[in-house]
Amino acid sequence: MRILVTGGAGFIGSHVVDMLVAAGDSVRILDALLPAVHRSRPEVNAAAELIVADVTDRPQVEAALDGVDAVCHQAAMVGLGVDLDDLPAYAAHNDLGTAVLLAAMARRGVRRLVLASSMVVYGEGGYRCPADGPVRPGPRLPAELAAGRFEPPCPSCGRPLEPTLVAEDAPLEPKSVYAATKVAQEHLAAAWATATGGSVLALRYHNVYGPRMPRDTPYAGVASIFRSALERGEPPRVFEDGGQLRDFVHVHDVAQANLHALRHPGVLGELVPLNIGSGEPHSVGDMASVLARVFGGAAPVVTGLYRAGDVRHVTASSALARGFLGYQPRVTFDEGVNAFARDPLRG
């Protein structure tokens, strides 16, 4: 197949490109090489064609789609960003860019899309109250967070809640600008699928980490932020009490999920969301501690600080992706984090 990978010079996209090339596919990359991610020109797979342009650039997107059988849409601004001044850039790169791409795909007759979505679309993950069963916690109150009470109580009886795995049919409740743009991307892609009869597989990534993560940027994932601190000789700074549960999934497993998705016909006229995780929930504090120990750096500092837009626990079941795609994560937390403590980051 000839596949267009938007954002194919980035962290996840570059691994997808490498895997597609190794599988014998013809790959074209469209990447804006944004300074927030690429402080120097990155190396890309020599077997792939690179077009340096923004996904909002309509003529360049049209040219990039020439002769393409499927699109793997990885291009996006990620992370919580700095402040609300980032909002227009998130909306432009993530939502306007996706709209431009989808319109061009409709004109070109390209009907297969794999969309990089995210677990952030759920907001908080799943919870269960011992008395009231499955519940959705209420909003996290600043007064409670300031007092160090980070665990959300049952909204009905006030008892402590047990985190559970969230499935793809859970309500979407974005808590940040980035999350809102990912929800919008899914809705735009679903509307495109309905109108064109195309298929969309929306891969809801969990906390992806591994080699080639960008260093020293507020737009990176928490694993990269911790690792960057260690390289500077500083301790990783952990927000809240470090007990936030996440599913840290290695980038090699995420790239494999994309390969499976691009080989799958999907469901014509529909968007199918699929959680892509490791199946091994771990705390943010665990990630910081293991990285610091293996790297040989300073022990993490638990700050008690918190941020608007953060959620307490979000981990998901990837059972649907296993059944639908044959997705099977292979990199364990211990293997992946031990390697990541030594993996090169991107400048």
pLDDT in tens, 126-160: 999 999 999 999 899 999 999 999 999 999 999 99
Q: What local confidence, expressed as pLDDT, does residue 244 receive?
A: 97
Which run of H or E residues covers position 63? Answer: helix 58-64
Q: Mean pLDDT across the chain, nearest whole number? A: 94
Mean pLDDT of 168-197: 96
Which tokens hold the place of 347?
A: 């400048």
Confidence band (pLDDT; 50, 70, 90) for 82?
A: low
Q: Which residue carries 């470090």 as its tokens?
A: 242
State pLDDT tens for residues 324-343.
999 999 999 999 999 999 99
State pLDDT tens for residues 209-241.
999 998 877 767 899 999 999 999 999 999 999
Q: How far apart (Å, rounded) are the C-alpha atoms in residues 330 and 341?
A: 18
C-beta atoms surrounding 151 within 10 Å: 17
Rounded to 5 degrees, what are φ and ψ at 273?
-85, 140
Q: What local confidence, expressed as pLDDT, does residue 85 receive?
A: 83
pTM score, whole prediction: 0.95
Mean pLDDT of 161-183: 94
Rounded to 5 degrees, what are φ and ψ at 212?
80, 10
Confidence band (pLDDT; 50, 70, 90) for 39?
A: low
Domain 2-125+166-341, CATH among 3.30.479.10, 3.60.20.30, 3.40.50.11540, 3.40.50.720: 3.40.50.720
Instruction: Work out the percent of the chain whose per-residue pLDDT is above 90.
Output: 87
Cβ contact 58:101 at 8 Å:
no
Q: What local confidence, expressed as pLDDT, does residue 52 receive?
A: 96
What positions carry a catalytic annotation?
Answer: 178
Mean pLDDT of 32-59: 88
